[in-house]
Amino acid sequence: MKVLIKKSILETMLLNTQPYLEKKDLSQITSHVLLISQEEDFTLKATDYEIGLSYFTKEVKTISIGSATANGKKLLDIVKSLKESKEDDITLETINDYLYIKQNSSKYKLPMLNPNDFPEFPQIDSKPKFEINNTTLV
């Protein structure tokens, strides 16, 4: 997986998923967020087995598709420490069992757990859906 995403978008996604993460045991898969890169969108999921949130955005440049997990709190701390810049997107890339976070000369790596171990979300295909543009809510 390799994507380019704006800091503000990724930070908002991570902030909104924090309440759904396991906070006591950081070795649990539920303390991690699941990042899924597809052709035209990017998904971030978080759950504590009881409740979860799936967050989608199309405001991403996908270089290669795939999935990854990373500790949600640590990833948010890293993203907060990066600079807000219109030209310099954040690069998220998986190499072996690590998620690399890069922006200009700043480089971080976080260990990943197996994305296939992340809990499945229930299928809601038959339920009514609605989409909200996040800029409309501001």
- What is the full per-residue pLDDT of the chain (138 aa) written as tens digits? 999 999 999 999 999 999 999 877 767 899 999 999 999 899 999 998 888 899 999 999 999 999 999 999 999 999 999 988 777 899 999 999 999 999 989 999 999 999 999 998 877 777 777 777 767 765
Q: What is the pLDDT of residue 137?
A: 64
Measured CA to CA, the distance from residue 121 to residue 68 in angstroms comes to 16
User: What SS3 state is found at 24?
Assistant: coil
Separation CA 69–CA 119 (nearest Å): 12
| Cβ atoms within 10 Å, residue 79 | 22
Element (H, E) at 77: helix 72-81
Give the angle 137-40-105 at the CA atoms, nearest 5°.
85
Read off the pLDDT of residues 75-108 as tens digits, 9 standing for 90 and up.
999 999 998 877 789 999 999 999 999 998 999 9
Q: Give the global pTM.
A: 0.85
